[in-house]
Amino acid sequence: MADGPALVRLLDHLEARFNGHVFTLSDEDRATLRASRQLARFAQLIEGKQEAGGQLTLWQRYSFADLPAELISHIYQLFVKDAAVAVYTPHFLVRLMLGEVLSWEHLDQLNRLEDEDEVEVILDPCCGSGIFLVEAYKRLVLHWRSRHGWTRPSIADLRGLLNRVRGIDLEEGAVELAAFSLCLALCDALKPEEIRASDNLFPELKEKTIHTGCFFEAREKQAIKERVGVVVGNPPFSSSLGTPAAERAYDRYQKKHGALPDKQLAYLFLHESMEVLAKGGVLAMLQQYNFLYNQQSLNFRRKFIERWNVREILDFISVRGLFQKSGKDTKVVLVVAAATQPPPERQILHATFRRSGRVDAEQGFDIDYYDLHWLPRDLAIGKDAVWRSDLLGGGRVLDFVDRLKKFRTLEQYAEGQGWDYGEGFIEGARGVSRPAAHIIGKPLLPSEAIGEAGIDASAITVAPDKPIEGPRSEKRFTPPMLLVREHCDLPHDVWTENYLTYKNKVVGICGSSDDDAAAILDIGKWLRRERRALKAFVAAVSVRLFTQKATTLSGVDVLSLPYPERVSLDLGPHEEILVDDIVDYYRDLIRLGEGSAAMKQCGIRALPAYVDTYLQQVNAVYKKNKLRALEPRTWPGVVCQPFIFGRGKVDWSGAEELRAKLDALLREQRGSGLTVTRIARIYDGPCIYLLKPDRLRYWLRSIALRDADETLADLWDQGF
């Protein structure tokens, strides 16, 4: 390894023996290796017998004998040319994605080797270093073994399976690395003696099955000849199309379907990937959060769901640091769709994942029963607010939002009064500045000076002489003013004193004269009185909260707050329950996951309120033979709340023997990357048993409403 000429001869020998261009060197690489003076240090690194201070050891401190593909992909990320769009996809996310589209039944179809015309391949249209392709190949091998009595496949079988994966990438280095990683995966399926005895082990993959170039150009040239049964990948999230072929694909899309939001390249990958699939083929592709949570993407998403059989949308908005090894906190969703016409009865699964210790450790994902939302297609297409409502519990939250959206807004009221309103001034960026004599040197209210108690006047400073890009007008800073900070808790106050400037993290609603002070004060009092309901509402409709910022709103969010003519939101009892749980628990559950109060606190103390809410709902239907609550039974981490119609009690003898079975009942392991926390509703004669984890989240009053709705549906189905 330390001898350049000898290393070149070794690589030439390995290339001649194993084939596949895995060890091929260019003339430039040969010259570099022969003349290199760094190989000795590199050899020491590979040997792994030297301490950081230079001291040699008798044993290896590490070994490269087992080099997983995910490590290769991470190393590639460190050297990739355009790190802004080429992002390392964590292996546990790759496993989850492939688990959604490579079922054993679908693999049966992909592995039909007898009829070459029917063979379908797996395609990653933006393969990078090949992490999706390697995991897909491993699944192909595992499936082959399961269908052949768990015998080991021959080299010929492994090469045949390798021909079932296809990849495309603009970066030639990525293509070479993907081919190398696949060859390593082939070796993983062989015994060492089989590798040593083999000749021409590696098939030629580069430009045969793994192509250098643009996916859109490959489509135009029909570079992928085989039927594509599965498309999987993580496309670049970029508003720059980048290649002439992408521009042509964009033009074709515009002519047929209309504008593509923000020229988003990931949307174009999604659209074209569905087009390339064989009928019945399936796709699992990551998209930026905008796919669900940006108003500009509404038409694109609707057309996509109308045309294709969208089966699932897995939502990772709440998961922070998913791409931490790439140094990014990109919020993503996973779209799973089939290239068929959607059946009329199709329901789309919207699964909202939360933060957990397993995710932070990159070990896998956890999903909760109450975070699995089955949406009728018509609802997914027609109600844009449904996605955010699901983050906060779903169901009744959407009805609450729809009702409040019918009221007049703060913006409409201010517009009707002829008032000035909007965000404060914007500081200049990159030297951009406009005349701002009405700001510089004037009193300045820092955004943070507006708190729960109102404005802290002692924090007022003077606006410095700095470039200002968006100066607004004097009206924006002239009292009387209602000032609302762009924060999820809606801190606000009315200012009637002197002229006061503020930045664009504050929204001002400014009266035209002192005569408007009373009306401005009325709005301030109303906001304070209805603050909790408005906090819940804005959490369910904000265009920025949770997706772009953890606690920050936009100016649009504030101006869209309802302000009804009768100055009352007329909340019903169920809406008050939703408001309380959203404000007190769900907002933090979205941000913190397992670290939130809803998941850290035990729910036993909440049982009486839960039971009251549950019984009120059920007994509103069953008025003659009412349901009664019995004493709950607890085990470590588990609560069973029994109910009975009429008289009676529960015989708990032998209940301790159930402890070992409870974990299996309430927690389901799906593959190596997903754990599902379930609940159990058990119907036994006149008894109903609700068996759930003991965390507070499972025993909130809003959950009682959902449980009661589902119980009533079950009883109806049973003819009870």
Domain map of the chain by residue range? 1-65, 69-288, 410-568, 601-717
C-alpha pair distances (Å), 537 with each of 281, 403, 571, 579: 40, 10, 12, 8
As beta bridge partners, residue 451 has 454
213 contacts 125 by C-beta, under 8 angstroms: no
C-alpha pair distances (Å), 16 with each of 9, 175, 312, 375: 11, 21, 47, 57
Kindly report whether the peptide bond that precedes residue 480 is cis, defined as omega within 30 degrees of 0: yes
Terminal Cα-to-Cα distance of the chain (whole angstroms): 78
Task: Tell me if 69-288 shares its fold with 410-568.
Answer: no
Examine the pLDDT at 82 and tell me if it is beyond 60.
no
Query: Residue 15: which H helix or E strand, with range?
Result: helix 4-18
C-alpha pair distances (Å), 174 with each of 216, 344, 611: 17, 42, 58
Examine the pLDDT at 557 and tell me if it is beyond 90.
yes
pLDDT of residue 32: 82
pLDDT tens figures, 83-100: 555 678 899 999 999 999
Burial grade of 716 (CB within 10 A; 0-12, 13-18, 19 or more): exposed
Distance of CA 382 to the CA centre of its chain: 22
Q: Which of 241, 312, 278, 258 is nearest to 123 (CA)?
A: 278
pLDDT tens figures, 136-153: 999 999 999 999 999 999
44 contacts 50 by C-beta, under 8 angstroms: yes
Alpha-carbon dihedral angle through residues 612, 616, 622, 626, given to the nearest 10 degrees? 30
pLDDT of residue 671: 76
* Full-model pTM: 0.90
Examine the pLDDT at 325 and tell me if it is beyond 80.
no
Q: Which of 224, 287, 215, 225 is nearest to 248 (CA)?
A: 215
- Tracing tokens 């993407």 back to the chain, one arrives at 297
In whole angstroms, give the CA distance from residue 257 to residue 171.
30
Alpha-carbon dihedral angle through residues 534, 539, 543, 546, given to the nearest 10 degrees? 150
- Which amino acid, 222? Q
178 contacts 127 by C-beta, under 8 angstroms: yes
pLDDT higher for 711 or 345? Answer: 711
Q: β-strands 506-510, 481-485: how paired?
A: antiparallel
> Has domain 69-288 been given CATH number 1.20.5?
no
Phi, psi of 711 (to 5 degrees): -65, -45
**What is the pLDDT averaged over residues 571-597?**
97
* Helix residue ranges per DSSP H, 294-340: 298-307
pLDDT of residue 377: 94
In whole angstroms, give the CA distance from residue 292 to residue 388.
9
- Tracing tokens 């379908």 back to the chain, one arrives at 120
In whole angstroms, give the CA distance from residue 690 to residue 638.
10
The per-residue pLDDT of the chain, averaged, comes to 90
Q: β-strands 492-495, 481-485: how paired?
A: antiparallel
pLDDT of residue 80: 59
In whole angstroms, give the CA distance from residue 620 to residue 27.
83
Examine the pLDDT at 113 and tell me if it is beyond 60.
no
In 213-322, DSSP assigns E strands to 227-233, 277-288, 309-315
Confidence of residue 127 (pLDDT cuts 50, 70, 90): very high
The winner for highest mean pLDDT among 458-472, 481-495, 541-555 is 481-495
- Which amino acid, 26? S
In whole angstroms, give the CA distance from residue 17 to residue 29.
20
pLDDT of residue 78: 60
Q: Please give the biggest Cα pair distance in the chain.
A: 94
509 contacts 410 by C-beta, under 8 angstroms: yes
Confidence of residue 190 (pLDDT cuts 50, 70, 90): confident
CATH for 410-568? 3.90.220
Confidence of residue 116 (pLDDT cuts 50, 70, 90): low
pLDDT of residue 71: 65
Angular region, 493: left φ>0, alpha ψ -120 to 50, beta rest: beta
Q: Which two tokens stand for residue 399?
A: 């009805």
Confidence of residue 112 (pLDDT cuts 50, 70, 90): low
